[in-house]
Amino acid sequence: ETGVTQSPTHLIKTRGQQVTLRCSSQSGHNTVSWYQQALGQGPQFIFQYYREEENGRGNFPPRFSGLQFPNYSSELNVNALELDDSALYLCASSPAMRGRVDGYTFGSGTRLTVV
């Protein structure tokens, strides 16, 4: 059973640029959630995708957008990058929209630095 994989592992971007982060969910998991973890903070919920549709969103502006594909992998896109977007971006997959909450599996994250 493969876990959640995220790419790239590290990324440096310039303010104003756009970035796409990728996540492959664990086999058998159809729900993907994205979290942003700034230094010294806990992860903050960005949004969740279930069967290719956004199914919940946290307090993030519209320049944070996402997609889920038929194979349940997902992308997080951030436009017009700001310095405060520098963070660890975590993807988590789970087996079902209303499944066991402790079925979440986190990827190792993408560390984004905006300069």
Partner 1 sequence: RKEVEQDPGPFNVPEGATVAFNCTYSNSASQSFFWYRQDCRKEPKLLMSVYSSGNEDGRFTAQLNRASQYISLLIRDSKLSDSATYLCVVNRGGNTPLVFGKGTRLSVIA
Residues that bind partner 1 (CB under 8 A): 31, 33, 35, 40-45, 48, 50, 55-56, 58, 88, 90, 92, 97-98, 101-102, 104, 106-109, 111
CB of 108 to partner 1, least distance (A): 5
For residues 102 and 115, give the distance between their C-alpha atoms in angstroms, rounded to a whole number. Answer: 36
Nearer to partner 1, 40 or 62 (CB): 40
Is residue 88 within 8 A of residue 110, CB to CB? The reply is yes
Residue 55 C-beta: closest distance to partner 1, Å:
6
The answer to whether 16 and 77 are in contact (CB under 8 A) is no
Within a 10 A sphere around the Cβ of 90, how many other Cβ atoms? Answer: 22
